[in-house]
Homo-oligomer: A and B are copies of this chain.
Amino acid sequence: MPTSDNDPPPVYREIAEELRAAITSGRLSDGDRVPGENDLMKRYGVARATARQALSVLINEGIVVPIRGSGVYVRAFRPLRRHGPKRLSRDLWGGGRAIWQADAGDRPFETDSVVVDEVPAQPHVARALDLPERTPVLRRRRRYRLDERPMQLATSYLPRELVHGTPITEVDTGPGGIYARLAELGHAPAHFTEEIRVRMPTPGEIEALSLSAGTPVLDVLRTALTDDRLAVELNEMTLDGSAYVLQYDFEA
Protein backbone atom coordinates (compact mmCIF):
# COMPACT_ATOMS: atom_id res chain seq x y z
CA MET A 1 0.00 0.00 0.00
CA PRO A 2 1.30 3.49 -0.71
CA THR A 3 2.90 5.02 2.38
CA SER A 4 4.86 8.15 2.94
CA ASP A 5 8.45 7.43 2.00
CA ASN A 6 10.23 10.41 3.50
CA ASP A 7 10.32 11.67 7.10
CA PRO A 8 9.66 9.50 10.16
CA PRO A 9 6.11 10.04 11.51
CA PRO A 10 5.67 12.58 14.33
CA VAL A 11 5.87 11.16 17.88
CA TYR A 12 2.13 11.49 18.59
CA ARG A 13 1.39 9.27 15.62
CA GLU A 14 3.82 6.61 16.79
CA ILE A 15 2.15 6.59 20.19
CA ALA A 16 -1.29 6.37 18.56
CA GLU A 17 0.00 3.50 16.40
CA GLU A 18 1.20 1.57 19.47
CA LEU A 19 -2.11 2.05 21.26
CA ARG A 20 -3.98 0.99 18.13
CA ALA A 21 -1.83 -2.15 17.88
CA ALA A 22 -2.62 -2.95 21.53
CA ILE A 23 -6.33 -2.69 20.72
CA THR A 24 -6.34 -4.62 17.44
CA SER A 25 -4.18 -7.38 18.93
CA GLY A 26 -6.61 -7.67 21.84
CA ARG A 27 -4.13 -6.73 24.59
CA LEU A 28 -6.58 -3.91 25.31
CA SER A 29 -10.12 -5.09 24.70
CA ASP A 30 -13.72 -3.86 24.66
CA GLY A 31 -14.43 -1.46 27.48
CA ASP A 32 -10.84 -1.43 28.82
CA ARG A 33 -9.40 1.86 30.00
CA VAL A 34 -6.71 3.23 27.66
CA PRO A 35 -3.61 4.85 29.28
CA GLY A 36 -4.41 8.51 30.00
CA GLU A 37 -2.42 11.67 29.28
CA ASN A 38 -0.39 11.35 32.48
CA ASP A 39 0.44 7.69 31.80
CA LEU A 40 1.53 8.48 28.26
CA MET A 41 3.65 11.48 29.38
CA LYS A 42 5.49 9.25 31.85
CA ARG A 43 5.82 6.22 29.59
CA TYR A 44 7.05 8.06 26.50
CA GLY A 45 8.63 11.13 28.12
CA VAL A 46 6.48 13.51 26.04
CA ALA A 47 4.65 16.78 26.73
CA ARG A 48 0.96 16.79 27.64
CA ALA A 49 0.05 18.28 24.24
CA THR A 50 1.68 15.32 22.49
CA ALA A 51 -0.07 12.78 24.70
CA ARG A 52 -3.38 14.53 24.09
CA GLN A 53 -2.79 14.59 20.34
CA ALA A 54 -2.07 10.84 20.32
CA LEU A 55 -5.34 10.11 22.13
CA SER A 56 -7.34 12.41 19.90
CA VAL A 57 -6.16 10.50 16.81
CA LEU A 58 -7.86 7.39 18.22
CA ILE A 59 -10.90 9.31 19.42
CA ASN A 60 -11.37 10.74 15.94
CA GLU A 61 -11.07 7.27 14.44
CA GLY A 62 -13.82 6.22 16.82
CA ILE A 63 -11.96 3.20 18.21
CA VAL A 64 -11.75 4.74 21.70
CA VAL A 65 -14.35 6.84 23.48
CA PRO A 66 -13.69 9.61 26.04
CA ILE A 67 -15.95 9.49 29.11
CA ARG A 68 -15.99 12.89 30.80
CA GLY A 69 -14.27 12.90 34.18
CA SER A 70 -13.34 9.25 33.93
CA GLY A 71 -10.90 8.50 31.12
CA VAL A 72 -10.67 7.07 27.63
CA TYR A 73 -12.00 3.59 26.91
CA VAL A 74 -11.84 1.04 24.11
CA ARG A 75 -15.16 1.19 22.32
CA ALA A 76 -17.26 -1.84 23.18
CA PHE A 77 -18.15 -3.07 19.72
CA ARG A 78 -20.87 -5.66 19.37
CA PRO A 79 -22.29 -4.77 16.00
CA LEU A 80 -25.60 -5.96 14.64
CA ARG A 81 -25.29 -8.01 11.50
CA ARG A 82 -27.90 -6.71 9.09
CA HIS A 83 -28.26 -9.31 6.36
CA GLY A 84 -29.78 -7.41 3.42
CA PRO A 85 -31.45 -10.20 1.48
CA LYS A 86 -32.28 -12.60 4.33
CA ARG A 87 -34.00 -10.09 6.61
CA LEU A 88 -36.38 -9.00 3.84
CA SER A 89 -37.34 -12.48 2.65
CA ARG A 90 -41.05 -13.03 2.22
CA ASP A 91 -40.91 -15.96 4.67
CA LEU A 92 -40.12 -13.58 7.44
CA TRP A 93 -42.71 -10.83 7.18
CA GLY A 94 -45.16 -13.25 5.54
CA GLY A 95 -44.86 -15.25 8.78
CA GLY A 96 -45.88 -12.25 10.86
CA ARG A 97 -42.43 -11.46 12.25
CA ALA A 98 -40.95 -8.00 12.43
CA ILE A 99 -38.10 -7.42 9.98
CA TRP A 100 -36.16 -5.93 12.80
CA GLN A 101 -36.37 -9.16 14.74
CA ALA A 102 -34.17 -10.76 12.07
CA ASP A 103 -31.35 -8.39 12.98
CA ALA A 104 -31.78 -8.42 16.72
CA GLY A 105 -32.06 -12.17 17.26
CA ASP A 106 -32.83 -12.71 20.92
CA ARG A 107 -31.71 -9.28 22.05
CA PRO A 108 -34.54 -7.04 23.23
CA PHE A 109 -35.46 -4.38 20.70
CA GLU A 110 -38.21 -1.83 20.42
CA THR A 111 -39.52 0.90 18.18
CA ASP A 112 -40.12 4.27 19.77
CA SER A 113 -41.23 7.77 18.81
CA VAL A 114 -43.45 6.53 15.97
CA VAL A 115 -44.96 9.51 14.13
CA VAL A 116 -47.33 8.98 11.20
CA ASP A 117 -48.53 11.82 9.00
CA GLU A 118 -49.25 12.87 5.43
CA VAL A 119 -46.96 15.19 3.48
CA PRO A 120 -46.54 16.32 -0.14
CA ALA A 121 -43.82 14.23 -1.84
CA GLN A 122 -40.47 16.01 -2.00
CA PRO A 123 -38.64 15.64 -5.33
CA HIS A 124 -36.51 12.62 -4.34
CA VAL A 125 -39.50 10.84 -2.79
CA ALA A 126 -41.64 11.52 -5.84
CA ARG A 127 -38.87 10.19 -8.09
CA ALA A 128 -38.43 6.99 -6.07
CA LEU A 129 -42.18 6.29 -5.90
CA ASP A 130 -42.75 7.35 -9.52
CA LEU A 131 -45.34 9.96 -8.54
CA PRO A 132 -45.76 13.61 -9.61
CA GLU A 133 -43.99 15.98 -7.21
CA ARG A 134 -46.04 17.05 -4.21
CA THR A 135 -48.49 14.13 -4.50
CA PRO A 136 -49.66 13.31 -0.95
CA VAL A 137 -47.67 10.46 0.60
CA LEU A 138 -47.93 8.72 3.94
CA ARG A 139 -44.85 9.29 6.07
CA ARG A 140 -43.90 6.97 8.96
CA ARG A 141 -41.02 8.08 11.18
CA ARG A 142 -39.61 5.95 14.00
CA ARG A 143 -36.50 5.09 15.96
CA TYR A 144 -35.22 1.59 16.73
CA ARG A 145 -33.52 0.70 19.98
CA LEU A 146 -31.61 -2.44 20.93
CA ASP A 147 -30.68 -3.23 24.53
CA GLU A 148 -32.05 0.27 25.27
CA ARG A 149 -29.52 1.82 22.89
CA PRO A 150 -30.81 3.86 19.92
CA MET A 151 -29.47 2.26 16.73
CA GLN A 152 -31.41 3.58 13.79
CA LEU A 153 -33.74 6.32 12.61
CA ALA A 154 -36.10 5.45 9.76
CA THR A 155 -38.62 7.34 7.65
CA SER A 156 -40.84 5.44 5.23
CA TYR A 157 -42.87 7.03 2.46
CA LEU A 158 -45.78 5.20 0.82
CA PRO A 159 -48.25 6.39 -1.85
CA ARG A 160 -51.26 7.73 0.06
CA GLU A 161 -53.68 6.36 -2.50
CA LEU A 162 -52.41 2.84 -1.88
CA VAL A 163 -52.53 2.82 1.91
CA HIS A 164 -55.20 5.36 2.93
CA GLY A 165 -57.61 3.91 5.52
CA THR A 166 -55.52 0.75 6.06
CA PRO A 167 -53.62 -0.34 9.22
CA ILE A 168 -50.46 1.01 7.53
CA THR A 169 -51.59 4.46 8.67
CA GLU A 170 -51.76 3.29 12.33
CA VAL A 171 -48.89 3.57 14.79
CA ASP A 172 -48.99 -0.22 15.23
CA THR A 173 -49.24 -1.87 11.81
CA GLY A 174 -49.73 -5.39 13.26
CA PRO A 175 -47.83 -8.67 12.81
CA GLY A 176 -45.34 -8.67 9.93
CA GLY A 177 -45.60 -4.88 9.69
CA ILE A 178 -45.99 -2.73 6.57
CA TYR A 179 -44.92 -5.45 4.14
CA ALA A 180 -47.43 -8.01 5.42
CA ARG A 181 -50.18 -5.38 5.12
CA LEU A 182 -49.09 -4.41 1.60
CA ALA A 183 -49.25 -8.10 0.65
CA GLU A 184 -52.85 -8.29 1.94
CA LEU A 185 -53.67 -5.30 -0.28
CA GLY A 186 -52.30 -7.21 -3.29
CA HIS A 187 -49.07 -5.21 -3.40
CA ALA A 188 -46.51 -7.55 -1.85
CA PRO A 189 -42.94 -6.26 -2.17
CA ALA A 190 -40.95 -8.53 -4.47
CA HIS A 191 -37.83 -6.55 -5.40
CA PHE A 192 -35.67 -4.35 -3.22
CA THR A 193 -32.91 -1.89 -4.03
CA GLU A 194 -30.70 -0.55 -1.25
CA GLU A 195 -28.31 2.37 -1.68
CA ILE A 196 -25.66 2.95 0.96
CA ARG A 197 -23.86 6.21 1.69
CA VAL A 198 -21.68 7.18 4.60
CA ARG A 199 -21.17 10.57 6.24
CA MET A 200 -20.66 12.30 9.57
CA PRO A 201 -23.88 12.87 11.55
CA THR A 202 -25.72 16.17 12.02
CA PRO A 203 -26.01 17.53 15.59
CA GLY A 204 -29.66 16.34 15.66
CA GLU A 205 -28.60 12.81 14.75
CA ILE A 206 -25.81 12.81 17.34
CA GLU A 207 -28.51 13.53 19.92
CA ALA A 208 -31.17 11.15 18.64
CA LEU A 209 -28.71 8.23 18.26
CA SER A 210 -26.53 9.16 21.31
CA LEU A 211 -23.44 8.97 19.09
CA SER A 212 -20.01 9.41 20.61
CA ALA A 213 -17.27 11.52 19.01
CA GLY A 214 -15.83 10.22 15.75
CA THR A 215 -18.81 8.03 14.85
CA PRO A 216 -20.00 8.22 11.25
CA VAL A 217 -23.52 7.22 10.15
CA LEU A 218 -24.70 5.00 7.32
CA ASP A 219 -27.57 6.22 5.15
CA VAL A 220 -29.48 3.29 3.70
CA LEU A 221 -32.11 4.19 1.10
CA ARG A 222 -34.41 1.31 0.24
CA THR A 223 -37.02 1.13 -2.50
CA ALA A 224 -39.54 -1.72 -2.43
CA LEU A 225 -41.18 -2.75 -5.71
CA THR A 226 -43.96 -5.24 -6.44
CA ASP A 227 -43.70 -8.06 -8.95
CA ASP A 228 -44.99 -5.74 -11.68
CA ARG A 229 -42.44 -3.08 -10.64
CA LEU A 230 -44.81 -0.73 -8.83
CA ALA A 231 -42.81 1.25 -6.22
CA VAL A 232 -44.70 0.84 -2.93
CA GLU A 233 -42.26 2.19 -0.36
CA LEU A 234 -39.19 4.38 0.00
CA ASN A 235 -37.44 3.95 3.35
CA GLU A 236 -34.70 6.39 4.39
CA MET A 237 -32.69 4.92 7.25
CA THR A 238 -29.85 6.46 9.26
CA LEU A 239 -27.78 3.88 11.15
CA ASP A 240 -25.25 4.33 13.94
CA GLY A 241 -22.13 3.39 11.97
CA SER A 242 -20.43 1.80 14.98
CA ALA A 243 -23.38 -0.52 15.59
CA TYR A 244 -23.77 -2.28 12.25
CA VAL A 245 -22.22 -4.70 9.82
CA LEU A 246 -24.23 -4.83 6.58
CA GLN A 247 -24.14 -8.08 4.65
CA TYR A 248 -25.23 -8.78 1.08
CA ASP A 249 -24.97 -12.10 -0.79
CA PHE A 250 -25.34 -12.38 -4.55
CA GLU A 251 -24.46 -14.49 -7.55
CA ALA A 252 -21.88 -13.94 -10.30
Chain A interface residues toward B at CB < 8 A: 1-4, 9, 13, 16, 20, 57, 60-63, 79, 84-85, 88-90, 112-113, 115, 141, 143, 150, 153, 155, 179, 188-204, 207-208, 214, 216-218, 241-242, 244-252
- Identical copies in the complex: 2
A201–B61 touching, CB < 8 Å: yes
B252–A199 touching, CB < 8 Å: no
Residues of B within 8 A of A191 (CB): 249-252
Q: A192-B252, A252-B88 are in contact. Are A1 and B241 (CB under 8 A)?
A: no
B84–A248 touching, CB < 8 Å: yes
B250–A3 touching, CB < 8 Å: no
A250–B250 touching, CB < 8 Å: yes
Shortest C-beta distance, A183 to chain B (Å), equals 9
Residues of B within 8 A of A190 (CB): 251-252
Residues of B within 8 A of A79 (CB): 197
